[in-house]
């Protein structure tokens, strides 16, 4: 275990944590989670990531690092009218679907047949409203939000992975300088709280299915591609089965999906981590240890976020989602024959509409697939 391994693991974990913990808090708020349930959510998903990263890295001798699904958290945060128990039911189903994809090859092939533009359009529709709220936050509290944006843009020129973390630190410092009261912060040990899931069909269709598709398209597939680009053969079946099983178990404690990491994984894969490629897998063990510590700090971090002005948290969420939004928009319009279906998917999802108790992401997907199917029927030779 070298110092460079510990350093890479710590930076990767902190970047992933700071970039998306505010989004997880927004998701918990949307489901009406209590502070105890939110802390349990954060602890369970942190421990799940730690266990999966250590297990997969040790078994495969490949540096596998896991993340929580940030776009998935944004999808949850965009939902309305769903109770926490119903959300937990959706998380359980999502975990089972991911595990089944690793075990049943035809299921993975079926998911792969969804046009890339439509899947990306659904993801862009989920992310766009949160990024738009960043502009509103800048309008309501420019003295704090605009410096955060400036720091984000400047740091991103040299180190894109650290840009959100730098903006987060800037927001905290400015909030303190302008009178934010953090005196109530306490170091308390988190506890896991069991929640009995409620499996409502409308929530399964409107949340579990889109959460599964978003996690596969925006986290797992890019995560596997990142490992391949670094010269490793990813353990695809084992990773899907393991992350799905972990997600199913942690869901009972309020956590949403554990998935492959992509951006933060790149921090752990280079020769600066370890000069010997075949030994870099140990970064997964160090990464797991850091996530255990972060999970134990979850109540304090949640107290910190609650003490910050709301526009600062909204701006942090918007900045963290700019990268995923940019990638989703690029994917949505990359294929000329899918641009109209992708646009319809995007606007339907972003509208936030709900019908028959089913959320907008599902309807966006259905509208896009219908438009795509009609265009393909028309283009077939007579």
Buried/exposed code over 288-316 (b: 16+ C-beta within 10 A; e: otherwise): bbbbbebbbbbbebbbbbebbbebbbbbb
pLDDT at 147: 93
Q: What mean pLDDT do residues 35-54 have? A: 93
In a domain, 14, yes or no: yes
**% of residues, the chain, pLDDT over 90:** 31
Whether pLDDT at 89 is above 90: yes
Whether pLDDT at 378 is above 70: no
Alpha-carbon distance 284 to 18, whole Å?
Answer: 19
pLDDT at 127: 82
Which contacts qualify for 178-184: CB closer than 8 Å, 24 or more apart? 178/143, 178/144, 180/307, 180/308, 180/309, 181/307, 182/304, 182/307, 184/303, 184/307
pLDDT at 116: 81
pLDDT at 83: 94
Alpha-carbon distance 71 to 132, whole Å?
Answer: 15
Whether pLDDT at 382 is above 60: no
pLDDT at 229: 73
Alpha-carbon distance 170 to 162, whole Å?
Answer: 12
Alpha-carbon distance 194 to 171, whole Å?
Answer: 34
Alpha-carbon distance 147 to 174, whole Å?
Answer: 9
pLDDT at 379: 62
Whether pLDDT at 358 is above 80: no
DSSP assignment of 171-200, as one string? HHHHHHHTT---TT----------------
Which residue did the predictor score with more confidence, 184 or 129?
129
Whether pLDDT at 1 is above 70: no
Residue-number span of the structural domain to which 223 is assigned: 3-180+190-379
How open is the CA angle 196-67-87, to the nearest 5 degrees? 25
Reported as a single tens digit per residue, the pLDDT across 197-218 is 999 998 998 899 999 988 887 7
User: Of 34, 26, 35, 121, which Cα lies nearest the Cα of 316?
Assistant: 26
CB 354 within 8 A of CB 134: no
Q: What is the pTM of this model?
A: 0.82
Whether pLDDT at 179 is above 80: no
Q: What mean pLDDT do residues 22-44 have? A: 92
pLDDT at 227: 84
In a domain, 185, yes or no: no
- Of the ranges 4-18, 32-46, 90-104, 290-304, which one carries the lowest mean pLDDT score? 4-18
In a domain, 329, yes or no: yes
In a domain, 113, yes or no: yes
Q: How many domains does the chain have?
A: 1
What is the average pLDDT value for the chain, to the nearest integer? 86
pLDDT at 241: 94
Task: Please report, to the nearest 10 degrees, the dihedral formed by the alpha carbons of residues 279, 281, 286, 287 taken in order.
Answer: 150
CB under 8 Å to 344, separation ≥6 — which residues? 121, 364, 367, 368, 371
User: Of 295, 15, 40, which Cα lies nearest the Cα of 31?
Assistant: 40
CB 311 within 8 A of CB 144: yes
**% of residues, the chain, pLDDT over 70:** 96
pLDDT at 380: 62
In a domain, 135, yes or no: yes
> What confidence tier does 381 reach under pLDDT thresholds 50, 70, 90?
low
Reported as a single tens digit per residue, the pLDDT across 118-173 is 888 887 888 888 889 888 988 888 989 999 999 999 988 988 877 888 888 898 88
CB 205 within 8 A of CB 360: no
Whether pLDDT at 12 is above 90: no
In a domain, 75, yes or no: yes
Whether pLDDT at 308 is above 60: yes
Alpha-carbon distance 199 to 89, whole Å?
Answer: 5
Q: Which helix (H) or strand (E) holds 233?
A: none
Alpha-carbon distance 71 to 293, whole Å?
Answer: 24
């Amino acid at each position: 275990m070298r110092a460079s391994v510990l350093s890479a693991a710590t930076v990767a974990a902190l970047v992933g944590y700071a970039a998306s913990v505010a989004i997880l808090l927004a998701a918990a708020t949307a489901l009406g989670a209590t502070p105890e349930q939110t802390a349990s959510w954060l602890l369970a998903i942190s421990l799940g990531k730690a266990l999966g990263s250590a297990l997969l890295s040790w078994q495969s001798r490949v540096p596998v690092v896991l993340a929580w699904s940030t776009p998935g958290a944004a999808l949850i945060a965009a939902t309305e009218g769903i109770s926490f128990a119903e959300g937990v039911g959706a998380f359980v189903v999502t975990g089972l679907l991911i595990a089944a994809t690793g075990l049943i090859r035809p299921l993975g092939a079926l998911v792969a047949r969804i046009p890339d533009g439509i899947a990306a359009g659904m993801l862009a529709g989920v992310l766009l409203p949160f990024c738009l709220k960043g502009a509103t936050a800048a309008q309501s509290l420019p003295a704090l939000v605009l410096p955060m944006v400036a720091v984000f843009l400047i740091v991103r020129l040299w180190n894109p992975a650290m840009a959100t973390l730098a903006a987060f630190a800037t927001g905290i410092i400015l909030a303190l300088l302008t009178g934010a009261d953090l005196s109530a912060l306490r170091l308390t040990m988190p506890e896991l709280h069991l929640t009995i899931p409620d499996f409502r069909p409308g929530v399964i269709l409107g949340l579990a299915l889109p959460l599964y598709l978003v996690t596969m398209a925006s986290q797992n597939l890019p995560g596997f591609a990142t490992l391949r680009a670094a010269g490793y053969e990813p353990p695809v079946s084992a990773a899907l089965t393991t992350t799905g099983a972990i997600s199913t178990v942690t869901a009972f404690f309020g956590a949403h999906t554990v998935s492959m990491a992509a951006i933060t994984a790149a921090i752990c894969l280079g020769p600066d981590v370890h000069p010997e490629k075949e030994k870099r897998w140990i970064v997964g063990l160090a990464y797991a240890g850091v996530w255990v510590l972060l999970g134990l700090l979850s109540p304090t971090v949640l107290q910190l976020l609650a003490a910050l002005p709301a526009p600062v948290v909204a701006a942090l969420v918007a900045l963290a989602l700019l990268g995923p939004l940019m990638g989703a928009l690029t994917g949505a319009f990359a294929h000329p024959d899918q641009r109209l279906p992708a646009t319809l998917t995007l606007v339907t999802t972003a509208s936030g509409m709900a019908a028959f108790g089913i959320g907008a992401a599902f309807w966006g997907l259905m509208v896009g697939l219908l438009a795509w199917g009609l265009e393909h029927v028309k283009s077939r030779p007579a």
